Amino acid sequence: MTNLITLTRMRMRLAMRNKMFFFFSVVMPFVIFFLYAAVFAKSRPDFVKFLLGPALSFNVMGSFWGLSAALVMFREQGILRRFHVCPVTATDMLISSLFANYLLTFPIVVLELFLAKYMFHVPSLGNVLCVALLATAGIISFGSLGLVIASVTNTMQETQVLNQLLWLPLIFLSGATIPFTALSPMVQHLGLFLPATYLVHGFKQAIMQNVGPFRILFIFVSLASWFVLTLFLSSQLFRWEPEAKIGRKAKLYVLATAIPFFLLGLYEAQYGHVIAEEKTIMQMFDEADKAGDQQQQKQEAPKSAPATEQPKQ
C-alpha cells in the first residue's frame, strides 16, 4: 500500500508536468463545458441541464487520451525504466496511474457541477450521488482503456492515431455531441455497442430524471466488467523498456475487451430500452423548453395600452 501511495503521488506530479496530459485532462474539459453551457445552451438553465450530461461525459471519456499519451511518452523517454528498478510490478504502476488520473479528473467534474448550479443557475442537478458514482466508474474504466492503448502501441504516433480512431466514434455515435434521438436508426443501433453511449445515457437519466444507482445498475456492471478486462490485458502487455515492441497479433487481444458492451449492445438492439428512454428524456426536454419559451414571452410581452375614444365629427 505504501508503494502504491508513493507511486500515485509521483504519477500525479509527472502528469501535471506533461503538457499533453494537462491539456486533455484539465484544459479541454473546461473548454467543452463552457462551449456547451454558454454557446450551445446560451446560458439558459434548462438547456444547460440537458447538455450537462454530455459535457460531463466529455470530461470523463477524455481522460483515456491524456493517460495513454503520458504513459507512452514516459516509456519513450526512459522514465518507466527508472520505475522498473524499484520493487514495483506492472500492476502497481497501472493501478497508480488510474488513481492519479482519478484524483486529477474527479475534482474537475465536481467543479463543473458547481459552475452549473451557481454560475448558470441550473435549478436541480438530479441525483448527485448517482452522478458522482457514474463519474467514478467512467473515469476508472475509460482510464483503463488508456492503459490498453499505451500497452499495445509502440510509438507516440501510433498512440495518437489509435486515440483518434477511438475518440471520434465515442463522441459522435454516443449522443455526446449530437442528440441520440437525432441519429438515424442504423447509427443508433451501432451506438448501442459503445461504452460511451451508456455513460452519456446514465448521466442524462441521473440529471434529467433523478434516477438512482440501482435503476442503471446494468451500466455500472458493464463498466466494471470492462475495467477488469482492460486492466488484465494491459498488465499482460505492459512494457517498461522503449526497445520492447509488441507484435501486430497481440494487438488483436484488445478486441476481447469489447465483450461486455458487445453483449449489452445485442440485448439493447433486441429490446430497445435505451432508445426508448432517450426518447422520453428528449420529450421531457422539449416540454420544459416550450414551457420556458411561453413564460419568457409572457414576461417580455408589452402591456397593451388602453384604447382611446375617437372624437365625434
Nearest Cα neighbor of 253 from 161, 102, 149, 109 is: 149
- pLDDT at residue 308 in the model: 47
Q: Does residue 41 lie within any of the structural domains? A: yes
> What pLDDT is attached to residue 7?
77
Task: Identify whether 68 is part of a domain.
Answer: yes
Give the Cα separation of 237 and 242 in Å (integer). Answer: 13
Residue 271 is assigned to a structural domain of this protein: yes
Cα 114 to Cα 243: distance, rounded to the nearest angstrom = 46
- CA distances to 83, 90, 166, 243, 289 from 87, rounded to whole Å, are 8, 10, 34, 21, 58
- The answer to whether the beta carbons of residues 64 and 143 sit under 8 Å apart is yes
- Which tens digit of pLDDT belongs to each residue from 28-83? 888 889 999 998 888 888 899 999 999 999 889 887 887 888 888 888 888 888 87
CA neighbor of 289 nearest in space, from 36, 48, 33: 48
Determine the pLDDT at residue 111.
94
Angle at CA 183, nearest 5°, toward 59 and 278? 70
Is 311 domain-assigned? no
Reduced to 3 states (helix: H, G, I; strand: E, B; else coil), residue 150 is helix
Look at residue 72 in the predicted model and tell me its pLDDT: 86
Q: State how many domains the chain has.
A: 1
Q: Does 190 fall in a domain?
A: yes
Phi and psi angles of residue 312, each rounded to the nearest 5 degrees, phi first: -70, 145
Closest CA to 53 of 246, 251, 278, 240: 278
Is residue 26 within 8 Å of 108, Cβ to Cβ? yes
pLDDT for the residue numbered 199: 94
Whole-angstrom distance, CA of residue 68 vs CA of residue 86:
22
Which residues, other chains included, contact 274 with Cβ-Cβ below 8 Å and sequence gap of 6+? 192, 197, 198, 201, 268
Contact 11, 100 (CB under 8 A): yes
The answer to the question of residue 94 being in a domain is yes
* Residue 305 lies inside a defined structural domain of this protein: no
Q: What is the pLDDT along the chain (313 residues), one digit of tens a residue?
A: 676 777 788 777 777 776 767 777 778 888 889 999 998 888 888 899 999 999 999 889 887 887 888 888 888 888 888 877 777 788 888 888 888 889 888 999 999 999 999 999 998 899 999 999 999 999 999 999 988 888 888 888 888 888 888 888 888 998 888 888 888 889 899 999 999 999 999 999 999 989 999 999 999 999 999 999 998 888 888 888 877 777 676 667 777 788 888 888 899 888 888 888 888 888 877 776 676 666 666 666 655 444 444 555 4
For residue 300, the model assigns a pLDDT of 65
Question: How many C-beta atoms lie closer than 10 Å to residue 313's C-beta?
Answer: 3
Q: Which residues constitute the domain of residue 213?
A: 2-286
Query: Is 297 domain-assigned?
Result: no
